[in-house]
A and B are shown apart, each in its own frame.
Chain A
Protein backbone atom coordinates (compact mmCIF):
# COMPACT_ATOMS: atom_id res chain seq x y z
CA UNK A 1 0.00 0.00 0.00
CA UNK A 2 1.49 3.31 -1.00
CA UNK A 3 0.53 6.53 0.64
CA UNK A 4 -0.71 9.35 -1.52
CA UNK A 5 2.09 11.78 -2.30
CA UNK A 6 1.64 15.44 -2.83
CA UNK A 7 4.54 15.63 -5.20
CA UNK A 8 6.51 13.29 -7.45
CA UNK A 9 9.40 15.25 -8.89
CA UNK A 10 11.77 17.42 -6.87
CA UNK A 11 13.89 20.14 -8.43
CA UNK A 12 17.17 20.56 -6.55
CA UNK A 13 18.08 24.25 -6.63
CA UNK A 14 21.66 23.79 -5.51
CA UNK A 15 24.97 22.19 -6.43
CA UNK A 16 27.86 20.24 -4.96
CA UNK A 17 27.68 17.81 -2.06
CA UNK A 18 24.33 19.04 -0.79
CA UNK A 19 22.66 18.58 -4.19
CA UNK A 20 23.81 14.95 -4.15
CA UNK A 21 22.70 14.56 -0.51
CA UNK A 22 19.20 15.79 -1.45
CA UNK A 23 19.12 13.61 -4.55
CA UNK A 24 19.86 10.52 -2.44
CA UNK A 25 17.04 11.37 -0.03
CA UNK A 26 14.60 11.87 -2.94
CA UNK A 27 15.58 8.50 -4.43
CA UNK A 28 15.10 6.75 -1.11
CA UNK A 29 11.60 8.20 -0.94
CA UNK A 30 10.80 7.13 -4.51
CA UNK A 31 10.82 10.65 -5.93
CA UNK A 32 12.27 11.76 -9.26
CA UNK A 33 14.87 14.52 -9.33
CA UNK A 34 15.56 17.48 -11.59
CA UNK A 35 19.07 18.93 -11.49
CA UNK A 36 19.25 22.54 -12.63
CA UNK A 37 22.85 23.55 -13.04
CA UNK A 38 25.29 26.07 -14.43
CA UNK A 39 27.45 25.39 -17.46
CA UNK A 40 30.42 24.85 -15.17
CA UNK A 41 28.65 22.02 -13.32
CA UNK A 42 27.49 20.06 -16.37
CA UNK A 43 29.71 17.09 -15.41
CA UNK A 44 28.88 17.19 -11.71
CA UNK A 45 27.83 13.89 -10.19
CA UNK A 46 24.27 14.81 -9.20
CA UNK A 47 23.70 16.31 -12.67
CA UNK A 48 24.81 13.11 -14.40
CA UNK A 49 22.65 11.01 -12.09
CA UNK A 50 19.50 13.15 -12.17
CA UNK A 51 16.30 11.95 -13.84
CA UNK A 52 16.22 15.26 -15.70
CA UNK A 53 19.16 17.70 -15.94
CA UNK A 54 18.83 21.20 -17.32
CA UNK A 55 21.56 23.79 -17.73
CA UNK A 56 19.97 27.10 -16.75
CA UNK A 57 22.85 29.54 -17.16
CA UNK A 58 26.55 30.28 -17.24
CA UNK A 59 28.97 29.65 -14.37
CA UNK A 60 28.10 32.89 -12.60
CA UNK A 61 25.87 32.05 -9.62
CA UNK A 62 23.85 35.22 -10.20
CA UNK A 63 22.74 33.81 -13.55
CA UNK A 64 22.25 30.21 -12.39
CA UNK A 65 21.83 29.14 -8.76
CA UNK A 66 20.70 32.60 -7.64
CA UNK A 67 18.38 33.22 -10.57
CA UNK A 68 14.98 32.66 -8.92
CA UNK A 69 13.00 33.31 -12.07
CA UNK A 70 15.02 30.85 -14.15
CA UNK A 71 14.70 28.16 -11.47
CA UNK A 72 10.92 28.51 -11.26
CA UNK A 73 10.66 28.49 -15.08
CA UNK A 74 12.83 25.36 -15.14
CA UNK A 75 10.53 23.70 -12.60
CA UNK A 76 7.54 24.44 -14.84
CA UNK A 77 9.27 23.15 -17.99
CA UNK A 78 10.46 19.94 -16.35
CA UNK A 79 7.23 19.22 -14.51
CA UNK A 80 8.84 19.45 -11.08
CA UNK A 81 6.22 19.93 -8.36
CA UNK A 82 8.57 20.64 -5.45
CA UNK A 83 11.81 22.57 -4.97
CA UNK A 84 14.49 21.85 -2.38
CA UNK A 85 16.76 24.89 -1.98
CA UNK A 86 19.58 23.21 -0.01
CA UNK A 87 21.73 25.69 1.93
CA UNK A 88 23.18 29.02 0.78
CA UNK A 89 22.00 30.47 -2.56
CA UNK A 90 18.20 31.03 -2.38
CA UNK A 91 17.53 28.88 0.70
CA UNK A 92 16.76 31.80 3.02
CA UNK A 93 15.20 34.11 0.46
CA UNK A 94 11.58 34.67 1.52
CA UNK A 95 10.73 36.20 -1.86
CA UNK A 96 11.90 33.04 -3.61
CA UNK A 97 9.89 30.77 -1.31
CA UNK A 98 6.87 32.97 -1.94
CA UNK A 99 7.32 32.89 -5.72
CA UNK A 100 7.72 29.10 -5.64
CA UNK A 101 4.47 28.66 -3.72
CA UNK A 102 2.69 31.24 -5.92
CA UNK A 103 3.68 29.09 -8.91
CA UNK A 104 1.87 26.15 -7.31
CA UNK A 105 5.11 24.34 -6.46
CA UNK A 106 5.89 22.93 -2.99
CA UNK A 107 8.77 24.64 -1.23
CA UNK A 108 10.71 22.13 0.88
CA UNK A 109 11.39 24.48 3.75
CA UNK A 110 9.63 26.86 6.10
CA UNK A 111 6.84 29.26 5.13
CA UNK A 112 7.96 32.55 3.55
CA UNK A 113 6.60 34.31 6.66
CA UNK A 114 8.93 32.32 8.94
CA UNK A 115 11.94 32.99 6.69
CA UNK A 116 11.15 36.70 6.72
CA UNK A 117 10.57 36.82 10.48
CA UNK A 118 13.91 35.14 11.21
CA UNK A 119 15.76 36.90 8.38
CA UNK A 120 15.29 40.20 10.17
CA UNK A 121 17.53 39.85 13.21
CA UNK A 122 15.53 42.34 15.31
CA UNK A 123 12.15 40.66 14.77
CA UNK A 124 13.85 37.29 15.27
CA UNK A 125 15.23 38.36 18.63
CA UNK A 126 11.95 39.93 19.73
CA UNK A 127 10.14 36.70 18.82
CA UNK A 128 12.63 34.67 20.85
CA UNK A 129 12.27 36.92 23.87
CA UNK A 130 8.49 36.63 23.65
CA UNK A 131 8.70 32.82 23.64
CA UNK A 132 11.23 32.39 26.45
CA UNK A 133 14.39 31.74 24.43
CA UNK A 134 17.27 33.55 26.19
CA UNK A 135 18.92 36.36 24.25
CA UNK A 136 22.01 38.53 24.65
CA UNK A 137 21.30 41.73 26.60
CA UNK A 138 21.00 44.64 24.22
CA UNK A 139 18.84 47.27 22.59
CA UNK A 140 15.78 44.97 22.31
CA UNK A 141 14.81 46.69 19.08
CA UNK A 142 16.18 49.09 16.48
CA UNK A 143 18.84 51.53 17.67
CA UNK A 144 17.39 55.03 18.12
CA UNK A 145 18.71 57.80 15.89
CA UNK A 146 19.34 60.11 18.85
CA UNK A 147 23.04 59.91 19.77
CA UNK A 148 22.49 60.47 23.49
CA UNK A 149 19.95 57.63 23.59
CA UNK A 150 22.41 55.31 21.82
CA UNK A 151 25.12 56.20 24.34
CA UNK A 152 22.76 55.64 27.26
CA UNK A 153 21.72 52.26 25.87
CA UNK A 154 25.32 51.11 25.43
CA UNK A 155 26.24 52.26 28.96
CA UNK A 156 23.33 50.27 30.34
CA UNK A 157 24.37 47.13 28.42
CA UNK A 158 28.04 47.66 29.31
CA UNK A 159 31.13 47.82 27.08
CA UNK A 160 32.32 46.09 24.98
CA UNK A 161 29.20 46.10 22.81
CA UNK A 162 28.59 44.80 19.30
CA UNK A 163 26.64 46.85 16.77
CA UNK A 164 24.81 44.68 14.24
CA UNK A 165 22.75 45.21 11.10
CA UNK A 166 19.19 43.98 11.30
CA UNK A 167 19.49 42.63 7.76
CA UNK A 168 22.86 40.97 8.39
CA UNK A 169 23.75 37.56 9.81
CA UNK A 170 26.40 34.92 9.47
CA UNK A 171 29.05 37.34 10.64
CA UNK A 172 28.25 40.08 8.12
CA UNK A 173 27.35 43.66 9.05
CA UNK A 174 28.70 43.87 12.59
CA UNK A 175 31.26 45.87 14.52
CA UNK A 176 32.65 45.48 18.05
CA UNK A 177 33.04 48.67 20.11
CA UNK A 178 35.36 48.52 23.12
CA UNK A 179 35.22 52.11 24.36
CA UNK A 180 32.44 54.66 24.74
CA UNK A 181 34.25 57.30 22.68
CA UNK A 182 34.30 55.03 19.63
CA UNK A 183 30.61 54.18 19.73
CA UNK A 184 28.97 56.91 17.66
CA UNK A 185 31.51 56.68 14.85
CA UNK A 186 31.08 52.89 14.74
CA UNK A 187 27.30 53.22 14.64
CA UNK A 188 27.45 55.70 11.74
CA UNK A 189 29.84 53.50 9.78
CA UNK A 190 27.89 50.28 10.36
CA UNK A 191 24.65 52.05 9.41
CA UNK A 192 26.19 53.14 6.11
CA UNK A 193 27.53 49.66 5.41
CA UNK A 194 24.20 48.05 6.30
CA UNK A 195 22.39 50.34 3.88
CA UNK A 196 24.85 49.43 1.13
CA UNK A 197 25.06 45.70 1.80
CA UNK A 198 21.49 44.84 2.83
CA UNK A 199 19.47 47.87 1.67
CA UNK A 200 18.37 48.32 5.28
CA UNK A 201 20.15 50.76 7.63
CA UNK A 202 18.44 49.43 10.77
CA UNK A 203 20.90 48.50 13.51
CA UNK A 204 20.72 46.95 16.94
CA UNK A 205 23.20 46.65 19.74
CA UNK A 206 24.17 43.81 22.04
CA UNK A 207 26.56 43.07 24.86
CA UNK A 208 29.70 41.59 23.25
CA UNK A 209 30.47 38.22 24.80
CA UNK A 210 34.24 37.82 24.80
CA UNK A 211 34.96 34.11 24.92
CA UNK A 212 31.75 32.39 23.87
CA UNK A 213 31.31 29.01 22.28
CA UNK A 214 28.99 28.57 19.28
CA UNK A 215 26.31 26.08 20.24
CA UNK A 216 23.27 25.36 18.08
CA UNK A 217 20.05 23.41 18.40
CA UNK A 218 18.63 21.46 15.44
CA UNK A 219 14.84 21.46 15.21
CA UNK A 220 12.40 19.55 13.03
CA UNK A 221 8.72 20.54 12.84
CA UNK A 222 5.83 18.97 10.94
CA UNK A 223 2.57 20.62 9.92
CA UNK A 224 0.61 18.77 12.62
CA UNK A 225 1.91 20.70 15.59
CA UNK A 226 4.88 18.46 16.39
CA UNK A 227 8.12 20.31 17.02
CA UNK A 228 11.20 18.29 18.00
CA UNK A 229 14.68 19.35 19.00
CA UNK A 230 17.37 16.89 17.95
CA UNK A 231 20.19 17.77 20.32
CA UNK A 232 22.94 20.34 20.09
CA UNK A 233 26.05 20.89 18.00
CA UNK A 234 29.26 22.70 18.89
CA UNK A 235 30.57 24.70 15.93
CA UNK A 236 33.09 26.88 17.77
CA UNK A 237 36.01 26.11 15.48
CA UNK A 238 35.57 28.91 12.94
CA UNK A 239 37.70 31.11 10.76
CA UNK A 240 36.20 34.40 9.59
CA UNK A 241 32.77 33.19 10.73
CA UNK A 242 33.11 30.07 8.55
CA UNK A 243 32.75 26.83 10.45
CA UNK A 244 35.62 24.40 9.98
CA UNK A 245 34.88 21.47 12.29
CA UNK A 246 31.61 20.66 14.07
CA UNK A 247 30.60 18.10 16.63
CA UNK A 248 27.64 16.71 18.54
CA UNK A 249 27.02 16.75 21.41
CA UNK A 250 28.92 19.85 22.65
CA UNK A 251 31.65 18.61 25.02
CA UNK A 252 31.33 19.50 28.68
CA UNK A 253 27.87 21.11 28.68
CA UNK A 254 25.46 19.40 31.10
CA UNK A 255 22.74 17.55 29.12
CA UNK A 256 20.01 19.06 31.31
CA UNK A 257 21.11 22.56 30.30
CA UNK A 258 20.90 21.56 26.63
CA UNK A 259 17.53 19.90 27.19
CA UNK A 260 16.17 23.10 28.74
CA UNK A 261 17.30 25.23 25.81
CA UNK A 262 16.14 22.58 23.32
CA UNK A 263 12.63 22.57 24.80
CA UNK A 264 12.50 26.35 24.60
CA UNK A 265 13.47 26.20 20.91
CA UNK A 266 10.74 23.63 20.21
CA UNK A 267 8.23 25.86 22.01
CA UNK A 268 9.32 28.85 19.95
CA UNK A 269 8.76 26.76 16.80
CA UNK A 270 5.23 25.93 17.89
CA UNK A 271 4.64 29.58 18.68
CA UNK A 272 5.61 30.81 15.20
CA UNK A 273 4.17 27.80 13.34
CA UNK A 274 7.58 26.79 12.06
CA UNK A 275 7.71 24.10 9.35
CA UNK A 276 10.60 21.83 8.42
CA UNK A 277 14.21 21.82 9.59
CA UNK A 278 15.87 24.78 11.26
CA UNK A 279 18.70 25.72 13.57
CA UNK A 280 18.78 28.05 16.56
CA UNK A 281 22.27 29.47 16.99
CA UNK A 282 23.51 30.50 20.43
CA UNK A 283 26.57 31.93 22.03
CA UNK A 284 27.39 30.06 25.23
CA UNK A 285 29.61 31.42 27.99
CA UNK A 286 29.77 30.68 31.74
CA UNK A 287 26.74 28.38 31.62
CA UNK A 288 24.54 30.95 29.88
CA UNK A 289 22.97 30.58 26.42
CA UNK A 290 22.24 33.67 24.34
CA UNK A 291 20.32 33.43 21.05
CA UNK A 292 22.03 35.04 18.05
CA UNK A 293 20.04 33.94 15.02
CA UNK A 294 17.93 31.21 13.49
CA UNK A 295 18.85 29.54 10.21
CA UNK A 296 15.64 28.62 8.42
CA UNK A 297 17.17 25.87 6.29
CA UNK A 298 19.22 22.71 6.24
CA UNK A 299 22.79 23.24 7.47
CA UNK A 300 26.14 22.00 6.19
CA UNK A 301 26.79 20.30 9.55
CA UNK A 302 23.47 18.42 9.75
CA UNK A 303 25.24 15.02 9.45
CA UNK A 304 26.68 15.13 12.99
CA UNK A 305 23.12 15.32 14.31
CA UNK A 306 22.05 12.54 11.94
CA UNK A 307 24.88 10.34 13.24
CA UNK A 308 24.08 10.92 16.91
CA UNK A 309 20.29 10.62 16.58
CA UNK A 310 20.05 8.03 13.80
CA UNK A 311 17.54 10.27 11.98
CA UNK A 312 17.63 11.37 8.33
CA UNK A 313 16.99 15.11 8.44
CA UNK A 314 16.73 15.57 4.66
CA UNK A 315 14.20 12.74 4.26
CA UNK A 316 12.28 14.25 7.17
CA UNK A 317 12.26 17.67 5.46
CA UNK A 318 10.76 16.14 2.33
CA UNK A 319 8.15 14.12 4.22
CA UNK A 320 7.14 17.20 6.19
CA UNK A 321 6.68 19.06 2.89
CA UNK A 322 4.49 16.16 1.77
CA UNK A 323 2.30 16.87 4.76
CA UNK A 324 3.20 13.75 6.71
CA UNK A 325 3.32 13.83 10.50
CA UNK A 326 6.69 13.09 12.12
CA UNK A 327 6.95 9.39 12.93
CA UNK A 328 8.75 9.97 16.22
CA UNK A 329 8.11 11.83 19.45
CA UNK A 330 10.52 13.89 21.52
CA UNK A 331 11.05 11.01 23.96
CA UNK A 332 12.27 8.86 21.05
CA UNK A 333 15.07 11.31 20.23
CA UNK A 334 18.36 10.23 21.76
CA UNK A 335 21.94 11.35 21.51
CA UNK A 336 23.99 8.22 20.94
CA UNK A 337 27.77 8.49 21.12
CA UNK A 338 29.68 11.37 19.58
CA UNK A 339 30.08 12.63 16.01
CA UNK A 340 32.59 15.06 14.48
CA UNK A 341 32.57 16.55 11.00
CA UNK A 342 35.56 18.02 9.15
CA UNK A 343 34.72 20.31 6.26
CA UNK A 344 37.19 19.48 3.49
CA UNK A 345 37.82 22.53 1.31
CA UNK A 346 39.83 22.86 -1.89
CA UNK A 347 42.25 25.42 -0.53
CA UNK A 348 45.74 25.80 0.84
CA UNK A 349 45.53 24.47 4.43
CA UNK A 350 47.23 27.49 6.00
CA UNK A 351 47.05 30.41 3.55
CA UNK A 352 43.43 29.49 2.68
CA UNK A 353 43.83 30.55 -0.94
CA UNK A 354 41.40 28.57 -3.12
CA UNK A 355 42.76 25.63 -5.07
CA UNK A 356 40.41 24.79 -7.92
CA UNK A 357 41.27 22.39 -10.71
CA UNK A 358 41.07 18.76 -11.78
CA UNK A 359 41.21 16.10 -9.06
CA UNK A 360 43.67 13.50 -10.29
CA UNK A 361 43.53 11.21 -7.26
CA UNK A 362 40.59 10.79 -4.92
CA UNK A 363 40.98 7.87 -2.54
CA UNK A 364 38.38 8.01 0.22
CA UNK A 365 38.58 6.59 3.72
CA UNK A 366 36.17 4.01 5.11
CA UNK A 367 35.57 1.65 7.99
CA UNK A 368 33.33 1.62 11.01
CA UNK A 369 31.83 4.95 11.96
CA UNK A 370 33.11 6.88 8.92
CA UNK A 371 30.75 8.74 6.58
CA UNK A 372 31.75 10.75 3.50
CA UNK A 373 29.41 13.31 1.94
CA UNK A 374 30.94 14.47 -1.33
CA UNK A 375 30.10 15.12 -4.96
CA UNK A 376 33.70 14.79 -6.12
CA UNK A 377 34.86 11.75 -8.08
CA UNK A 378 38.31 11.03 -9.44
CA UNK A 379 38.83 13.10 -12.58
CA UNK A 380 36.21 15.69 -11.70
CA UNK A 381 37.10 19.37 -11.59
CA UNK A 382 36.72 21.71 -8.61
CA UNK A 383 35.19 24.86 -10.05
CA UNK A 384 36.61 28.26 -9.11
CA UNK A 385 33.23 30.03 -9.15
CA UNK A 386 31.68 28.67 -5.97
CA UNK A 387 32.27 27.75 -2.35
CA UNK A 388 35.37 25.58 -1.93
CA UNK A 389 33.65 22.83 0.11
CA UNK A 390 34.35 19.52 -1.64
CA UNK A 391 33.66 16.91 1.02
CA UNK A 392 32.61 16.32 4.61
CA UNK A 393 34.32 13.59 6.60
CA UNK A 394 32.11 12.57 9.50
CA UNK A 395 33.30 10.21 12.24
CA UNK A 396 30.97 8.64 14.77
CA UNK A 397 32.05 6.74 17.87
CA UNK A 398 30.66 5.53 21.17
CA UNK A 399 32.70 8.27 22.86
CA UNK A 400 34.37 11.49 21.74
CA UNK A 401 37.76 9.77 22.08
CA UNK A 402 36.68 6.99 19.75
CA UNK A 403 35.26 9.47 17.23
CA UNK A 404 38.55 11.41 17.20
CA UNK A 405 40.54 8.19 16.79
CA UNK A 406 38.43 7.16 13.80
CA UNK A 407 38.60 10.66 12.33
CA UNK A 408 42.40 10.78 12.52
CA UNK A 409 42.74 7.46 10.70
CA UNK A 410 40.19 8.57 8.09
CA UNK A 411 42.01 11.84 7.39
CA UNK A 412 45.32 9.99 7.07
CA UNK A 413 43.72 7.53 4.66
CA UNK A 414 42.18 10.18 2.44
CA UNK A 415 44.43 10.75 -0.57
CA UNK A 416 43.77 13.75 -2.78
CA UNK A 417 45.97 14.91 -5.63
CA UNK A 418 45.69 17.60 -8.27
CA UNK A 419 44.31 20.19 -5.84
CA UNK A 420 45.27 21.32 -2.35
CA UNK A 421 42.93 20.57 0.54
CA UNK A 422 42.68 21.66 4.17
CA UNK A 423 43.14 18.07 5.41
CA UNK A 424 46.54 19.01 6.96
CA UNK A 425 44.80 21.80 8.92
CA UNK A 426 42.29 19.31 10.36
CA UNK A 427 45.09 16.91 11.21
CA UNK A 428 47.00 19.64 13.01
CA UNK A 429 43.86 20.74 14.86
CA UNK A 430 43.27 17.19 16.04
CA UNK A 431 46.67 17.33 17.76
CA UNK A 432 45.86 20.62 19.54
CA UNK A 433 45.32 20.26 23.28
CA UNK A 434 42.42 22.71 23.34
CA UNK A 435 40.59 20.83 20.60
CA UNK A 436 41.33 17.43 22.15
CA UNK A 437 40.09 18.62 25.56
CA UNK A 438 36.97 20.09 23.91
CA UNK A 439 35.05 23.25 24.69
CA UNK A 440 37.20 25.89 22.97
CA UNK A 441 35.71 29.32 22.21
CA UNK A 442 34.96 30.82 18.80
CA UNK A 443 38.29 32.67 18.66
CA UNK A 444 40.39 29.59 19.33
CA UNK A 445 41.11 28.73 15.70
CA UNK A 446 42.06 32.28 14.68
CA UNK A 447 44.37 32.60 17.71
CA UNK A 448 45.85 29.20 16.96
CA UNK A 449 46.52 30.23 13.35
CA UNK A 450 48.09 33.50 14.49
CA UNK A 451 50.38 31.70 16.91
CA UNK A 452 51.30 29.22 14.22
CA UNK A 453 52.36 31.93 11.76
CA UNK A 454 54.11 34.09 14.43
CA UNK A 455 55.54 31.64 16.95
Chain B
Protein backbone atom coordinates (compact mmCIF):
# COMPACT_ATOMS: atom_id res chain seq x y z
CA UNK B 1 0.00 0.00 0.00
CA UNK B 2 3.03 2.34 0.44
CA UNK B 3 3.77 3.18 -3.16
CA UNK B 4 1.37 2.86 -6.07
CA UNK B 5 1.88 -0.12 -8.30
CA UNK B 6 2.03 0.74 -11.97
CA UNK B 7 1.65 -1.72 -14.76
CA UNK B 8 3.97 -1.34 -17.76
CA UNK B 9 2.57 0.22 -20.92
CA UNK B 10 0.77 -2.42 -22.84
CA UNK B 11 1.71 -1.38 -26.37
CA UNK B 12 3.84 -4.46 -26.70
CA UNK B 13 3.95 -7.72 -24.77
CA UNK B 14 5.63 -7.11 -21.38
CA UNK B 15 9.06 -8.64 -20.91
CA UNK B 16 9.30 -11.93 -18.95
CA UNK B 17 10.77 -10.00 -15.98
CA UNK B 18 7.80 -7.63 -16.04
CA UNK B 19 5.40 -10.57 -16.16
CA UNK B 20 7.10 -12.10 -13.12
CA UNK B 21 6.79 -8.72 -11.33
CA UNK B 22 3.09 -8.43 -12.21
CA UNK B 23 2.54 -11.98 -10.95
CA UNK B 24 4.14 -11.03 -7.63
CA UNK B 25 1.85 -8.03 -7.35
CA UNK B 26 -1.14 -10.26 -8.07
CA UNK B 27 -0.15 -12.67 -5.30
CA UNK B 28 0.51 -9.81 -2.86
CA UNK B 29 -2.92 -8.38 -3.62
CA UNK B 30 -4.51 -11.82 -3.16
CA UNK B 31 -5.64 -11.91 -6.79
CA UNK B 32 -5.55 -14.99 -8.97
CA UNK B 33 -5.90 -13.64 -12.42
CA UNK B 34 -5.17 -10.56 -14.51
CA UNK B 35 -6.21 -9.81 -18.05
CA UNK B 36 -4.78 -7.01 -20.16
CA UNK B 37 -6.07 -6.04 -23.57
CA UNK B 38 -5.15 -3.18 -25.85
CA UNK B 39 -6.88 -1.64 -28.81
CA UNK B 40 -4.60 -3.49 -31.19
CA UNK B 41 -6.08 -6.78 -30.06
CA UNK B 42 -3.08 -7.83 -28.00
CA UNK B 43 -4.33 -9.93 -25.13
CA UNK B 44 -2.40 -11.11 -22.08
CA UNK B 45 -3.84 -13.34 -19.40
CA UNK B 46 -1.88 -14.08 -16.23
CA UNK B 47 -2.95 -16.70 -13.73
CA UNK B 48 -1.07 -16.61 -10.44
CA UNK B 49 0.33 -19.99 -9.42
CA UNK B 50 -1.42 -21.66 -6.50
CA UNK B 51 0.44 -22.52 -3.31
CA UNK B 52 4.17 -21.96 -3.07
CA UNK B 53 5.38 -22.92 -6.52
CA UNK B 54 6.30 -19.59 -8.11
CA UNK B 55 6.68 -19.62 -11.87
CA UNK B 56 6.14 -23.37 -11.97
CA UNK B 57 4.04 -23.92 -14.00
CA UNK B 58 5.00 -20.71 -15.85
CA UNK B 59 2.42 -17.95 -16.23
CA UNK B 60 -0.18 -18.74 -18.81
CA UNK B 61 0.49 -16.32 -21.67
CA UNK B 62 -1.68 -16.16 -24.72
CA UNK B 63 -1.78 -13.74 -27.58
CA UNK B 64 -4.53 -13.71 -30.13
CA UNK B 65 -1.94 -12.87 -32.75
CA UNK B 66 -0.37 -16.26 -32.27
CA UNK B 67 -3.14 -17.76 -34.38
CA UNK B 68 -1.98 -15.63 -37.36
CA UNK B 69 -5.28 -15.28 -39.27
CA UNK B 70 -5.31 -14.69 -42.98
CA UNK B 71 -6.76 -11.24 -42.35
CA UNK B 72 -6.50 -8.98 -39.31
CA UNK B 73 -9.70 -7.44 -37.96
CA UNK B 74 -9.89 -3.69 -37.37
CA UNK B 75 -11.80 -3.13 -34.15
CA UNK B 76 -13.17 0.07 -32.65
CA UNK B 77 -11.31 1.50 -29.63
CA UNK B 78 -14.52 3.23 -28.39
CA UNK B 79 -18.16 3.53 -29.39
CA UNK B 80 -19.81 6.10 -31.64
CA UNK B 81 -21.25 6.81 -35.07
CA UNK B 82 -18.95 5.27 -37.64
CA UNK B 83 -17.58 7.52 -40.36
CA UNK B 84 -15.81 5.63 -43.14
CA UNK B 85 -15.56 8.80 -45.23
CA UNK B 86 -14.05 12.16 -44.52
CA UNK B 87 -17.16 14.32 -43.89
CA UNK B 88 -15.54 17.31 -45.61
CA UNK B 89 -14.39 15.64 -48.84
CA UNK B 90 -16.74 12.61 -48.92
CA UNK B 91 -13.65 10.57 -49.70
CA UNK B 92 -13.36 7.16 -48.07
CA UNK B 93 -10.48 6.93 -45.59
CA UNK B 94 -9.64 3.35 -46.47
CA UNK B 95 -11.81 1.71 -49.14
CA UNK B 96 -11.42 -1.95 -50.11
CA UNK B 97 -8.12 -2.38 -51.90
CA UNK B 98 -6.53 0.60 -50.16
CA UNK B 99 -3.01 0.05 -48.80
CA UNK B 100 -2.65 1.17 -45.18
CA UNK B 101 0.33 1.72 -42.90
CA UNK B 102 0.25 0.40 -39.35
CA UNK B 103 -1.42 2.99 -37.13
CA UNK B 104 -3.03 4.87 -40.03
CA UNK B 105 -6.53 6.23 -39.39
CA UNK B 106 -8.99 4.10 -41.32
CA UNK B 107 -12.23 5.46 -39.86
CA UNK B 108 -13.59 7.94 -37.32
CA UNK B 109 -16.07 7.49 -34.49
CA UNK B 110 -18.29 10.51 -34.01
CA UNK B 111 -19.52 11.27 -30.47
CA UNK B 112 -21.24 14.62 -30.89
CA UNK B 113 -18.50 17.20 -30.70
CA UNK B 114 -15.79 14.60 -30.03
CA UNK B 115 -14.24 12.25 -32.54
CA UNK B 116 -12.08 9.19 -31.98
CA UNK B 117 -9.89 7.73 -34.74
CA UNK B 118 -9.85 4.02 -35.57
CA UNK B 119 -6.30 2.93 -36.42
CA UNK B 120 -5.07 0.09 -38.60
CA UNK B 121 -3.53 -2.60 -36.34
CA UNK B 122 -1.02 -3.56 -39.04
CA UNK B 123 0.18 -2.58 -42.50
CA UNK B 124 -1.60 -4.21 -45.42
CA UNK B 125 -4.50 -3.96 -47.82
CA UNK B 126 -8.13 -3.41 -46.78
CA UNK B 127 -9.84 -6.61 -47.84
CA UNK B 128 -13.37 -6.22 -46.54
CA UNK B 129 -15.59 -3.58 -44.90
CA UNK B 130 -18.16 -5.02 -42.55
CA UNK B 131 -19.84 -2.02 -40.88
CA UNK B 132 -22.09 0.62 -42.42
CA UNK B 133 -21.38 4.31 -42.80
CA UNK B 134 -23.13 6.26 -40.01
CA UNK B 135 -23.91 3.15 -37.99
CA UNK B 136 -23.79 3.40 -34.18
CA UNK B 137 -21.07 0.90 -33.32
CA UNK B 138 -20.02 -0.35 -29.91
CA UNK B 139 -16.60 -0.76 -28.35
CA UNK B 140 -14.53 -3.61 -29.82
CA UNK B 141 -16.65 -4.00 -32.93
CA UNK B 142 -14.92 -5.32 -36.07
CA UNK B 143 -15.51 -2.79 -38.83
CA UNK B 144 -13.15 -4.03 -41.54
CA UNK B 145 -10.36 -6.49 -42.16
CA UNK B 146 -6.85 -6.03 -43.45
CA UNK B 147 -4.76 -8.55 -45.35
CA UNK B 148 -1.35 -8.01 -43.76
CA UNK B 149 1.43 -6.93 -46.11
Q: Which A residues contact B (CB, under 8 angstroms)? A: 39, 52-59, 70, 73-74, 76-78, 196, 384
Contact (Cβ within 8 A) A39 B139: yes
Contact (Cβ within 8 A) B140 A77: no
Partner of B136, one of A54, A70, A384: A54
Least Cβ distance of A257 to chain B in Å? 42
Residues of A within 8 A of B112 (CB): 73, 76-77
The answer, yes or no, to whether B35 is at the interface (CB within 8 Å) is: yes
The answer, yes or no, to whether B81 is at the interface (CB within 8 Å) is: yes
Contact (Cβ within 8 A) B37 A58: yes
Q: How many residues of B contact A (CB 8 A)?
A: 16
The answer, yes or no, to whether B111 is at the interface (CB within 8 Å) is: yes
- Given A73-B112, A74-B79, A77-B81, CB of A55 within 8 Å of CB of B139: yes
CA distance A53 to B137 in the complex (A): 10
The answer, yes or no, to whether B88 is at the interface (CB within 8 Å) is: no
Among B78, B81, B114, max chain A CB count under 10 A is at B78
CA distance A57 to B81 in the complex (A): 15
Residues of B within 8 A of A74 (CB): 79
CA distance A78 to B138 in the complex (A): 11
- Given A55-B139, A55-B141, A56-B139, CB of A73 within 8 Å of CB of B37: no
Residues of A within 8 A of B114 (CB): 73
Contact (Cβ within 8 A) B140 A54: no
Least Cβ distance of A229 to chain B in Å? 40
Q: Which residue of B lies closest to A78 (CB)?
A: B136
Scan residues 76-97 of chain B and give those whose CB is less than 8 A from a CB of chain A: 78-81
Contact (Cβ within 8 A) B140 A58: yes
Residues of B within 8 A of A55 (CB): 79, 138-141
Can you name 25 A-B residue pairings with CB atoms under 8 Å? A39-B139, A39-B140, A52-B136, A54-B79, A55-B79, A55-B139, A55-B141, A56-B139, A57-B139, A58-B139, A59-B35, A70-B79, A73-B79, A73-B111, A73-B112, A73-B114, A74-B79, A76-B111, A76-B112, A77-B79, A77-B80, A77-B111, A77-B112, A77-B136, A196-B1
Least Cβ distance of B32 to chain A in Å? 9
Residues of B within 8 A of A76 (CB): 111-112
Q: Which residue of B lies closest to A55 (CB)?
A: B138
Q: Which residue of A lies closest to B80 (CB)?
A: A77
Q: Which residue of B lies closest to A59 (CB)?
A: B35
Residues of B within 8 A of A56 (CB): 79, 138-139
Residues of A within 8 A of B80 (CB): 77
Least Cβ distance of A169 to chain B in Å? 20
Least Cβ distance of B140 to chain A in Å? 5
A-contact 0/1 string along B105-148, CB 8 Å cutoff: 00000011010000000000000000000001011110000000
